[in-house]
Amino acid sequence: MDLLARLSNVPAVSGFEHEAQKLVADELRPYADEIRTDRLGSVIALRKARKPSRETPYRLLYAAHIDEIGFMVSYIDDRGFIYFIPIGGFDARTLPSQRVTVHGTAGDEPSKLEGVIPSKPGWMTDDEDRKRVIPIDELFVDTGLPAERVKAVVQVGDAINLSKEFEVLNDEIVTGRNFDDRVGTYSLIDSFRRIEENTVDVYAVSTVQEEVGVRGVPTAAHAIGADICVAIDGSLPSDIPFAKSHRAQCPIGGGTGIYLMDNRTIGDRDLLRGLIDTCERHDIRYQRNIGGGTDASAVQRAGLGAKATTIGAPTRYMHSTVQMCHMRDIRATADLLAYFPRYAHEILPDDWR
């Protein structure tokens, strides 16, 4: 859990992923035959085929996005309150009473200020206020510091991230602010270290800017020219009281979710079969997921196209600061990613080109 905690605590708002990508690259490097960072910032590590199924091995691309939703400073007022715009899809209802970290670049050296996004105090609210959600453009960060102290550190354009940290809640139940997609990144790294007897070249890609519309992965997909893509992202558990029973799927603890279809991708039939066969060969718990939207969509349609889908641990409360996962599902995801490269070539037809 140490690596998962470190990955979950490092900030990486979309477009500001540098520090986190350094951590990812350091973790992948000892196990990679080649590693590089592409022009947009995605880290690409290659583990060459150890038992290639043909002279030029097929290419399997694993993609997990390192970025998390956050904010950009848009204005600092005369009293030092910091206004912001969202980077990625936030639910405004979840923001009041959050702790945040502002990554200032106004001084000679980058420097952080800690702050809160307050809720409107009860004694200032009227009946109308109680009924409405405060829109994001009325919210602000309060550091408690005077304007000149704030402006010495922070300027317009700086990143703000939610600062809730990784915790073990109970037994193997863990929580963090960005399990979408840090548990995916964790599974990517953990599996990459254990890949053996792979018949295909495996490219582990830690992508950037997924949360703002899958902007980071296309350049990596173009450079690699993958035959097969498995994105790793949270699947969508509906095992909570808010969900209708006829939408039930992917309870946490039930295994890794294999995406049949999401908002951007219809899972390739041969790839789904190959992933399920791998689970059955190695006693890996899996379940079927419908819904979401991931990096797989861009790789599927890059170049000549790739057989693509997504897998991942069910993640409760995505895009909130209390995302919840079961370690058993995270391990199942990594196991599937570690074993699949032994069989990946089998899903491609003889006339594949």
Catalytic pick among 27, 68, 210, 211:
210
d(CA 185, CA 42): 12
Residue 181, preceding peptide bond in cis (omega within 30° of 0)? yes
What is the nearest approach in angstroms of Zn ion to the Cβ of residue 81? Answer: 31
Q: Is 34 a catalytic site residue?
A: no
**Least distance CB 67 / Zn ion (angstroms):** 9
Q: For Zn ion, which residue of 67, 233, 295, 335 counts as binding (CB under 5 A)? A: 233
Rank residues 152 and 261 by Cβ distance to Zn ion and give the closer one: 261
Residue 181 interacts with Zn ion (CB under 5 A): yes or no: yes
Binding mask 95-134 for Zn ion (x = CB under 5 A): ----------------------------------------
CB of 246 to Zn ion, least distance (A): 25
Q: How many CB atoms lie within 10 A of CB 309?
A: 26
SS3 string, 301-343, reads: CCCCCCEEEEEECECECCCCCCEEEEHHHHHHHHHHHHHHHHC
Query: Of 63 and 228, which has the nearer Cβ to Zn ion?
Result: 63
Residues in region 31-60 near Zn ion by CB under 5 A: none
**Count of residues for the chain?**
353
- Closest C-alpha to 61, from 239, 308, 335, 351: 308
Name which position in 180, 190, 268, 335 contacts Zn ion (CB under 5 A).
180
Q: How far is the CB of 318 from Zn ion (least distance, A)?
A: 7
Q: Is 227 in the site for Zn ion (CB under 5 A)?
A: no
- Cite the active site residues: 210
- The residues binding Zn ion (CB under 5 A) are 180-181, 233
